[in-house]
Amino acid sequence: MSVRRLAEQQPDSFAFTPENLAWCKKEIGKYPEGRQASAVVPLLWKAQKQNDYWLPKKAIETVAEMLGMPFIRVLEVATFYTMFNLSPVGKHYIQFCGTTPCVLAGADAIKDVLKRRVGEQGHISADGKFSWLEVECLGACCNAPMVQINDDYYEDLTAANFETLLDNLAAGRPVTVGSQTGRVSSEPAGGLTSLTSLYGVDGRCGPQSLHAKPQAGDHAAAAAEHATQSESPAEPANERTKQEMKHSTGQPGGKA
């Protein structure tokens, strides 16, 4: 792993907004007294998100003070996890997946677009709107190639639709999150070939589609299942336990 250091140029101060401060206090409250340090990762993430997706030294100090932790301990966390950006990034921070499934599906063409439109990794475009980094698998292999831009996934990319996506982001126009070809979830690109009676060929119009009204839970059945799982072992299980104890005599851990 390469050495990760804080940016040379740092802002003079950092303070959570009132809304984010309330969120942080609620997050800290999830942990028992004396275990507040467990909230260090979510608080650092919230600080980074507030600060245009990078984490300055003052934000790390603020989190350390809120959690009663030495600054060096919080700095260790911030420099260890690559999810934390220690220097400024573009307004649209692009994490490009370059692992095997995406490469096999054509990710090299996406990388070529990034190099031509933005520059090398870590470089912020002249207009300040883009920067990118190649990362390990982002878990959307079925919809490869893909990138993550800030908080959202953009999938089923081609050089052409990725160029369009960047154009729209640069111009401030609305963009479609997820598949850029209209695919639903991770279904086949040409539409469903099975379970069509439940979801429809398009994955949207069937009775079990995502928009369908959730069914009420069967509380009686749940209670019965819980009772069954809570019952003592049946006689055969008890007999097996006795046999195991009998055969363990004279064995390591068994009775003499």
pLDDT over 90 percentage in the chain: 63
Domains of the chain: 18-80 (1.10.10), 92-179 (3.40.30.10)
Question: What is the pLDDT at residue 212?
Answer: 45
Q: Contact, 100 vs 110, CB < 8 A? A: no
CA 63 to chain centre: 21
Q: What is the pTM of this model?
A: 0.71
Name the β-bridge partners of 132: 94
240, two tokens = 């097996």
pLDDT single digits (tens) 166-217: 999 999 999 999 999 988 777 777 777 777 777 776 777 777 676 544 445 4
121 closest CA partner among 113, 133, 111, 130 = 133
